[in-house]
């Protein structure tokens, strides 16, 4: 199903780094968003309390998920909504397809939903003769480019405006060479207006599903979810099981955190509540597991389900900023993607928890306080124990273990040529040594500290 290459993060990041100016531009663009976030959160003296509160609410939800899901379903049903349960991506896609077929149409408009990216819904529906148009501007751009989004909030952040101008020229008929954002946005607006008016089915994501009322909240800056849903005959909302919050009043915590973390705005332009279908309209909610209940059962990783998809961990991640979202070869990229993906396919995503220096900045910006960098460390242990590592790496680690577990061997090895030089992979000064390619080796000193100490302070 996936169209992503099987190359690993390091290789894809290496390709991204072939164009240093582009890396600088990407890094600075995302850093600018991190700075906007800093400015916004520093205006709230209660910021850290808000994060703690949100984290605790989500913790409570995860500990009582079954009950809340049932309550949500009962209330949604009472509101006149049809509720579907999907165990995995395949079931989700089949359910959506069936709803479309039942309505006798072959095209649909869709607002932003990372869950449908995760399920590869667009590809599935295309194979079944259904055309989907993404109505979020960034999503539409990557869709025209036949690429997956590179960021969960800013899907085409990897594209420069000139490249978007070329795409619009090719697909939407703007004059060649036009890259003025105002003109491009207006073109997209007119193009999407026609789509909204003619599509009978609209799919949206769900940011928050309120258990006590059965309503759900969709946050967008463009109002595109509203345009699609309100003009449709059928509104389908896809949500992961972790989107639940117990009460409507909890939105007072989450809506304040979400966009400040994501883009530095105080709140999304549209935070729309959907509760019941209008007269004559159908409303469907598809509640999707797709590995989430497995993750919930992993003690060390269950907190990852607190994620509200703000993307702050990506914007702050020094690795993400310099490797680009596509290097993570997963629908959700960056630090959060790296702790979610191995749950879905440990072999395919074995590289992702290693695509980090464990600097910890992600955990600090996370509005729901997921211990992202600690989970990256823990995934590394799980992945190695499960055998998704190379024989060469295991051999070098065992050699290191043998040397470092014995002071005698360590000091002899050190003397004989500086042990680290010998066994660490960055040891040798040649082109095959990845350290030496762009960095000089430390100059080995005349004597180690151990030798100096024996000479100067020794009392043998």
Partner 1 sequence: MTVGLFIPCYIDQFYPGAAIATLQLLEKLGVKVVYPPKQTCCGQPMANSGYEHLTTGCNELFIDNFSEFDYIVSPSGSCILHIKDHLHSEGRENEAAQVRRKVYELTEFLTDVLKVDHLDAVFPYKVGLHQSCHGQRGLKISQMTELVAEPFSKPVQLLNMVKGIELIPLSRQDECCGFGGTFCVAEEAVSVKMGVDRVSDHLEHGAEYITGADMSCLMHMEGILRRQGSKVKVLHIAEILNSSVQ
User: Does the protein bind partner 1 through residue 435 (CB under 8 A)?
Assistant: yes
CB of 308 to partner 1, least distance (A): 17
DSSP state of 295: H
Alpha helices in 221-308 (DSSP H): 224-231, 251-262, 292-296
* Residue from 66, 406, 416, 429 binding partner 1 (CB under 8 A): 406
CA torsion, points 401, 404, 405, 408, in degrees to nearest 10? 140
Task: Name the minimum Å distance from CB 145 to partner 1.
Answer: 24
Q: Tell me if 429 contacts partner 1 by CB under 8 A.
A: no
Residues in 244-283 that interact with partner 1 by CB under 8 A: none
Cβ nearer to partner 1, comparing 82 with 448:
448
- How far is CA 235 from each of CA 134, 200, 311, 350, 383, rounded to the nearest angstrom? 15, 9, 26, 37, 40
Provide, rounded to whole angstroms, the least separation between the CB of residue 364 and partner 1. 4
Q: Which of residues 60-119 bind partner 1 (CB under 8 A)?
A: none
Residues 30 to 69: which contact partner 1 by CB under 8 A? 31, 38, 41-42, 44-45, 47-48
Q: Does 428 bind partner 1 (CB under 8 A)?
A: no
Judged by beta carbon, residue 246 or residue 360, the one nearer partner 1 is 360
DSSP 149: -
Interface with partner 1 in residues 373-392 (CB under 8 A): 377, 380-381, 383-385, 389
- Considering the rule CB under 8 A, would residue 420 count as an interface residue with partner 1? yes
By the rule CB under 8 A, 354 interacts with partner 1:
yes
The structure tokens 């003397």 sit at: 415
End-to-end CA distance of the chain: 68
Q: C-beta of 293: minimal distance to partner 1 in Å? A: 26
Q: Rounded distance, CA 396 to CA 400, Å?
A: 6
Counting contacts by CB under 8 A, is residue 361 touching partner 1? yes
Closest approach, Cβ 27 to partner 1, in A, equals: 7
Shortest Å, Cβ 429 to partner 1: 11
Distance CA 120, CA 287 (A): 16
Q: How far is the CB of 208 from partner 1 (least distance, A)?
A: 23
Rounded Cα distance between 439 and 435, Å, is: 6
Rg (CA), the chain: 25
Residue count at the site for partner 1 (CB under 8 A)? 79
Instruction: Outline where 176-291 has alpha helix (H).
Output: 181-198, 224-231, 251-262
**Residue of 120, 279, 112, 128 whose CA lies nearest to 202:** 112
424 near partner 1 (CB under 8 A): yes
Q: Which of residues 13-32 bind partner 1 (CB under 8 A)?
A: 13-14, 16-17, 20, 23, 27, 31
Binding residues among 311-350 for partner 1 as defined by CB under 8 A: 316, 318-319, 322-323
- Are the C-beta atoms of 184 and 168 separated by less than 8 Å? yes
């Amino acid at each position: 199903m996936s169209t992503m290459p099987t190359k690993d993060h390091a290789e894809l990041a290496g390709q991204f780094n072939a164009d240093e100016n582009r890396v600088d531009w990407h890094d600075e663009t995302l850093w600018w968003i991190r700075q906007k976030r800093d400015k916004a959160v520093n205006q709230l003296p209660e910021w850290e309390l808000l994060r703690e509160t949100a984290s605790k609410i989500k913790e409570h939800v995860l500990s009582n998920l079954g009950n809340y899901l049932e309550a949500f379903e009962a209330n949604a049903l009472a509101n006149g909504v049809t509720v579907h349960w999907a165990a995995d991506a395949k079931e989700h896609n089949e359910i959506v397809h069936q709803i479309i077929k039942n309505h006798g149409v072959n095209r649909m408009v869709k607002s932003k939903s990372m869950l449908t990216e995760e399920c590869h819904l667009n590809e599935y529906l295309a194979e079944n003769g259904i055309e989907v148009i993404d109505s979020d501007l960034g999503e539409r751009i990557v869709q025209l480019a036949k690429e997956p989004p590179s960021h969960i909030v800013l899907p085409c952040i990897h594209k420069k405006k000139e490249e978007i101008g070329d795409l619009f020229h090719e697909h939407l008929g703007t004059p060649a060479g036009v890259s003025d954002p105002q003109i491009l946005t207006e073109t997209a607006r007119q193009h999407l207006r026609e789509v909204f008016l003619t599509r009978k089915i609209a799919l949206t994501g769900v940011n928050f599903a309120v258990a006590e009322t059965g309503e759900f909240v969709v946050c967008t800056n463009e109002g595109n979810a509203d345009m699609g849903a309100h003009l449709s005959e059928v509104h389908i909302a896809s949500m992961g099981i972790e989107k639940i919050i117990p009460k409507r009043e909890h939105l007072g915590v989450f809506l304040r955190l979400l966009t400040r973390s994501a883009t530095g705005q105080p709140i999304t332009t549209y935070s729309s509540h959907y509760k019941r279908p209008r007269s004559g309209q159908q409303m469907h909610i598809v509640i999707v597991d797709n590995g989430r209940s497995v993750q919930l059962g992993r003690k060390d990783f269950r907190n990852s389900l607190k994620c509200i998809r703000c993307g702050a961990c990506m914007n702050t991640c020094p690795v993400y900023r310099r490797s680009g979202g596509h290097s993570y070869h997963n629908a959700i990229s960056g630090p959060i993607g790296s702790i979610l993906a191995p749950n879905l396919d440990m072999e395919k995503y074995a590289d992702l928890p290693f695509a980090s220096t464990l600097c910890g900045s992600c955990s600090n910006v996370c509005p729901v306080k997921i211990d992202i960098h600690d989970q990256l460390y823990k995934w590394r242990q799980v992945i190695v124990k499960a055998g998704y590592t190379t024989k060469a790496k295991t051999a070098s680690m065992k050699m290191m273990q043998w040397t470092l577990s014995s002071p005698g061997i360590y000091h002899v090895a050190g003397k004989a040529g500086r042990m680290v030089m010998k066994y660490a992979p960055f040891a040798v000064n040649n082109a095959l040594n990845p350290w030496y390619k762009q960095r000089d080796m430390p100059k080995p000193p005349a004597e180690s500290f151990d030798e100096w100490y024996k000479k100067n302070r020794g009392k043998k």
